[in-house]
Amino acid sequence: MLTLSRWKVTAVILSVIFGIVFSLPNVLPQKMLDALPGWVPHQKLNLGLDLQGGSYLLYEVDTDALRAERLTNMVEDVRTTLRNDQIEFGELGEAGGVVRVRITDPAKVDQAVSLLRRSIGGPLAGAIGGRDTSVSNKGDGRLELTFVPEAAKADAVKAVDQSIETIRRRIDALGTKEPTITKQGSNRIVIQAAGESDPARLQAVIGQTAKLTFQMVDETVSQDDMVAGRIPPGVVVIPSTEPGRPPIPVAKRALVTGEDLVTANQEFDQNGAPAVGFRFGGAGARKFGDATTRNVGKRFAIVLDGKYISDPRINQPLPGGSGIITGNFTPESAAELALLLRSGALPAKLNLEEQRTVGAELGADAVRAGAISLAIGAAAMFVFIILAYGLFGVFAALALVVNVLLIVGIMSMTQATLTFPGIAGLILTLAVAVDANVLIYERMRDEAAAGRSPMSAADTGFRRAMVSIMDANITSLISAAIMFGFGSGPIKGFAWTLSIGVFTSVFTAIIITQVLIGWWFKTARPKKLPIA
């Protein structure tokens, strides 16, 4: 086992080179690092929120508002479906999460039930042939439509998952490095943006739903009608995004939504004012072209989060699926709206529950404290192992140095986030690595005391200590996997550092010390172990 095989020597040399090359950017000044050739690694350790400062935001997804919106859409779907099939109805409305409608012609009740069951809602996820909406006949022509409980739960889970992905795209577009976005509980989202010291900037981009819709303006409703509250069914009055502009009545049901957008960019209109250009793709372009073709000469409202930006008149069909949004924009606000539209709308409103800002000074203090604790811990282990095992302790100390280089190099290469608990994981990793050397060396002592030759005692010590070393590291790896799977934020940082350290510790404690001891035996040809 102590033979200096070529693959072991090669592995040791390559690991040392790897550790040095990928760890070096962390100690070089930025100017010197920028001057190095492009093929040289430039990645530094990605410090977490607790080490470099940044913003912490906790949001709650408003799943109740999402459900209310779906019920409103269901009311309009029922209205449109029954009208298209010329089924007379009345008393259509929603209350308590139930949509109710009365079919006035008793002969068409069964037809209406069958039609609504086919047309309203959609397939229920995970249920073959099941639908997310139930339609029940309560007698006397009265029908009730509700979402099945499974559909409500599926909608809530989907809304949270979609919100996380949308938030990630928005933050990535801002250039914030490696944000940590995790789900907390059933409907909360934790956002940690290291290095982002302006939480208001994050909130402006994250918290806006950015739901874009194109809705026809109902020009039969006058301002007097709106003031008097004479609003026909299927119409809603919405305010403007600009103060002072009057509200307008629009159809509740949108012609086209921003879900079909392919791209959106900040542009300038024909007068040189900032605007937002957009383009639909595929089905969205066809729907937009059909809608503008059918409504030439009429006005439609461009609505963002329940407020209209503008209400232009359709002068000609727009079959290409592209257009431009004008309004009272600045270049910055137009660019921000384009970013929001590109990254997609949030499926539901986000409510800010908690906000914290970690200053850079506090982060610097944490880095300094972590570096000091790591240095003290490493120095104490070096002193102990060298005093206890002499020359073999020096070999173990060298293996520990390579271990640290490998961990830092791997984390720099993969851009894994190092948190303050991660530093604790690094210190624990060094302790575990020393423990492996202690097991090996104590086993060598036992074998030498039993009368074995130095070479035989060393070889047997490595071989018989392997079982204990592997058991200890496998249990550490299992614990790290559990913490990584069920933990969040700093817990994951600790688990990730510990996991990397388990593999590097086994490698350095076994292979590197084995090669160094094998080289010593080959050159010194000792008659006695230095630890016996």
Strand partners of residue 190: 58, 182
Range from 47-51, 250-254, 385-389, 416-420 carrying the lowest mean pLDDT: 47-51
Average pLDDT over residues 468-476: 85
Model pLDDT, residue 17:
92
Q: In the sheet that 261-268 helps form, which strands lie side by side, from edge to edge?
A: 261-268, 274-280, 322-325
**Rounded to whole angstroms, how far apart are CA atoms 51 and 65?**
37
Of 379, 256, 384, 392, the C-alpha closest to 323 is 256
Q: Are 74 and 152 in contact (CB under 8 A)?
A: no
Amino acid identity of 175?
Answer: G
CB contact set of 442 (below 8 Å; sequence gap of 6+) = none
Q: Given a cut of 60, is residue 13 above it in pLDDT? A: yes
CB contact set of 528 (below 8 Å; sequence gap of 6+) = 448, 454
Model pLDDT, residue 360:
58
**Rounded to whole angstroms, how far apart are CA atoms 479 and 484?**
9
Helices (H) and strands (E) in the chain, counts: 15, 19
Model pLDDT, residue 158:
82
Predicted confidence (pLDDT) per residue in 346-394, tens digit: 777 888 888 877 665 556 676 677 778 878 888 888 888 888 888 999 9
Model pLDDT, residue 307:
87
Q: Beta-strand (E) ranges in 227-358? A: 235-238, 248-251, 256-257, 261-268, 274-280, 300-304, 307-310, 322-325, 350-358
Confidence of residue 489 (pLDDT cuts 50, 70, 90): low
For a pLDDT cut of 90, what percent of the chain falls above it? Answer: 5
Strand partners of residue 188: 60, 184
Q: Given a cut of 80, is residue 443 above it in pLDDT? A: yes
Average pLDDT over residues 406-435: 81
Q: Given a cut of 60, is residue 306 above it in pLDDT? A: yes
**Rounded to whole angstroms, how far apart are CA atoms 211 and 257?**
8
Predicted confidence (pLDDT) per residue in 146-183, tens digit: 888 887 787 788 888 888 888 887 777 666 556 778 88
Model pLDDT, residue 249:
92
Model pLDDT, residue 488:
63
Q: Given a cut of 80, is residue 40 above it in pLDDT? A: no
Q: Are 276 and 329 in contact (CB under 8 A)?
A: yes
CB contact set of 453 (below 8 Å; sequence gap of 6+) = none
**Rounded to whole angstroms, how far apart are CA atoms 133 and 122?**
7
Which three-class secondary structure state does DSSP give residue 345?
coil
Average pLDDT over residues 37-62: 79
Q: Which of 171-180, 199-208, 520-529 has the highest mean pLDDT?
A: 520-529
Rg (CA), the chain: 33
Predicted confidence (pLDDT) per residue in 79-107, tens digit: 888 888 888 898 888 888 899 999 998 88
459 φ, ψ to 5°? -65, -45
Q: Beta-strand (E) ranges in 379-482? A: 417-418
Q: Are 197 and 55 in contact (CB under 8 A)?
A: yes
